[in-house]
Amino acid sequence: MKDFICISVTIILLISTVGALSAADVTFTDTSGETITLPNPADRIVCLNSDSAEAIVALGAGNKVVGITDSTMTDAALMKHLPKAVSVGEWQTPGVERILAMKPDAVISYSSSRPKNADQLQNAGIRLIYLDCYKFNTLAHDIEAVGTLIGAEDKAKAYIAFMKKWEDEVISRTKNISGEEMPSVYIEGYSDYSAQGKDSGIDLLMSIAKGKNLAADLGEQWPKVTPEWIISKNPEIIIKAASVKPDKTLGQIREGVLSRTGFESLDAVKDKKVYVLNGDLIYGPRSPAGLVYLAKILHPDKFKDIDPSDVLKEYAKEFVSGVESEDYYTAIG
C-alpha cells in the first residue's frame, strides 16, 4: 500500500512538473500561418526586416534586438532605440555565421519576401520566424505575435487598441462615400514608375480610406508602368512613397515628380494634388498615422478637424519612449 502511495505521489509530481514546463512555452502563429513554439519569451532577437524591429521597439523591448540588416542600420530614428543591435549583413542574404555567433532566441524575417539564402540559414540550424509587421491587414495579428514572443502582451494589446481606434475613425468618416465619389489615384513606390498594385501595403490603406487605385487592375502587386500609361489615366491625385534621406527632402522628391515630361497636363498636377509620403507611414507600426494622412489627402472635407501629425505624435508618445520629435514626424512633402 505504501509503495502504491509513493508511486502515485511520484506520478502526480511528474505530471505537475511537465505541466509547469508546458505552461512556460511561448506559442503563436506567424504571418504565414505556421505555429511557433519556444520554451521561453525571446531575449535575443535578430530582425531581418526593419518593421519587426520597430514593432519590438514599439512594445518597449528595443534592447532585446541584437541583430539587424544593413538597411535597418541606415534608419537613424530607429537605431536610437536599438542600443545592442549590430549588422548581420544584407537583408536578402544575411550572414549565417554572424547570426549563429549572436546565439539568438529568435530570427524574424518577412513572410512575403523571404531571404534568398533561407535554406542555407535553416540548414545551419537557424529557424526563421516569418512576421511581416508591415501590411495593415495582418499588422494586428503580427503585433500580437511579437507581444507573445517577447512577453509584452499588454503592450501589444495597447498598440492594437490604438490602431483600431484610428481605423474605426477613418471608416466612420468615409462610410457614405460611393464608388463614384472616390478620387482616382496613381500610387508610386520608391522607384520611379513602380506602381503599387492590388494588395500592396498602400493599396490596403487606400481601400479603407476610399480611394480608387488606378493600378489595382494590372495583375501585380508592384507593376512597372510607363509615363504614357499614367498620362492616359490622368489621375486626380498622385501619391509617391519615399525614404527620408539626408541628401534629398520629401519636397525635393515631389518637385522631381512635378517636373516629369508630360505631367504638366495631368489634373493632379494642375490641381496641386501631388503628395510624397514617408514610406515608414505607409508600412509598419506607424501606418495608423499613414492611414489618417491618406484619408485626409483623399477627402480633406471629411477630416478638417483632424491633424494627422497628432496621430503620429500619439504613436511616438505611447510607444516610442523618449523619442525626439523629428525622428518620427517627417511625414509628407
Residue 267's alpha-carbon distances to 73, 125, 231, in angstroms, are 39, 55, 10
Q: Determine the average pLDDT of the residues in 182-204.
A: 94
SS3 labels along 78-143: HHCCCCCCEECCCCCCCCHHHHHHHCCCEEEECCCCCCCCHHHHHHCCCCEEECCCCCHHHHHHHH
Q: Is the pLDDT of residue 123 over 60?
A: yes
Q: Is the pLDDT of residue 324 over 90?
A: no
Q: Is the pLDDT of residue 48 over 80?
A: yes
Q: Determine the average pLDDT of the residues in 90-105.
A: 94
pLDDT at res. 249:
85
pLDDT at res. 24:
65
pLDDT at res. 9:
42
Question: 322 pLDDT band (50/70/90 cuts)?
Answer: low
Using DSSP, state whether 277 is helix, strand or coil: strand
Q: In this predicted structure, which of 21-25, 62-66, 174-178, 191-195 has the lowest mean pLDDT?
A: 21-25
Q: Is the pLDDT of residue 218 over 60?
A: yes
Q: Is the pLDDT of residue 179 over 50?
A: yes
- % of the chain beyond a pLDDT of 90: 74
What sign does the dihedral 225-231-232-234 (CA atoms) show? Answer: positive
* Pairing of β 184-188 and β 128-130: unpaired
Q: Is the pLDDT of residue 20 over 60?
A: no
Closest listed residue to residue 66, CA positions, set 150, 135, 160: 150
pLDDT at res. 279:
86
**Cα angle vertex 129, ends 128, 134, to 5°?**
125
Closest listed residue to residue 145, CA positions, set 45, 69, 72: 45
Residue with cell 508546458: 22
Backbone angles phi, psi at 52, to 5 degrees: -70, -35
Q: Is the pLDDT of residue 43 over 80?
A: yes
Question: 112 pLDDT band (50/70/90 cuts)?
Answer: confident
Reported as a single tens digit per residue, the pLDDT across 59-86 is: 999 999 999 999 999 888 889 899 999 9
State how far the Cα of 260 lies from the Cα of 257, in Å rounded to an integer.
Answer: 6
End-to-end CA distance of the chain: 83
State how far the Cα of 140 lies from the Cα of 180, in Å rounded to an integer.
Answer: 31
pLDDT at res. 6:
46
Reported as a single tens digit per residue, the pLDDT across 253-275 is: 999 999 999 999 999 999 999 99
pLDDT at res. 216:
94
State how far the Cα of 44 lies from the Cα of 42, in Å rounded to an integer.
Answer: 6
The backbone region for 44, taken as left when phi is positive above 0, alpha when psi lies in -120 to 50, beta otherwise, is: beta
State how far the Cα of 10 lies from the Cα of 6, in Å rounded to an integer.
Answer: 6
Highest mean pLDDT among 5-9, 78-82, 109-113, 155-159: 155-159
Using DSSP, state whether 175 is helix, strand or coil: coil
Question: 332 pLDDT band (50/70/90 cuts)?
Answer: low
| Mean of all residue pLDDT scores within the chain | 89
Closest listed residue to residue 119, CA positions, set 109, 111, 108, 128: 128
Q: Determine the average pLDDT of the residues in 20-41.
A: 84
Using DSSP, state whether 328 is helix, strand or coil: helix
Reported as a single tens digit per residue, the pLDDT across 152-170 is: 999 999 999 999 999 999 9
pLDDT at res. 144:
98
Using DSSP, state whether 22 is helix, strand or coil: helix
Domains and CATH numbers, the chain: 23-151 (3.40.50.1980), 176-329 (3.40.50.1980)
- Yes or no: say if 88 and 98 are a contact pair by the CB < 8 Å rule: yes
Contacts of 188 (CB under 8 A, 6+ apart): 194, 195, 196, 238, 239, 240, 241, 257
Provide the whole-model pTM.
Answer: 0.87
Question: 90 pLDDT band (50/70/90 cuts)?
Answer: very high
Q: Determine the average pLDDT of the residues in 7-29.
A: 56
Question: 31 pLDDT band (50/70/90 cuts)?
Answer: very high
Residue 96's alpha-carbon distances to 44, 73, 120, 304, in angstroms, are 16, 18, 8, 51
Q: Determine the average pLDDT of the residues in 306-316.
A: 92
- Yes or no: say if 130 and 31 are a contact pair by the CB < 8 Å rule: yes
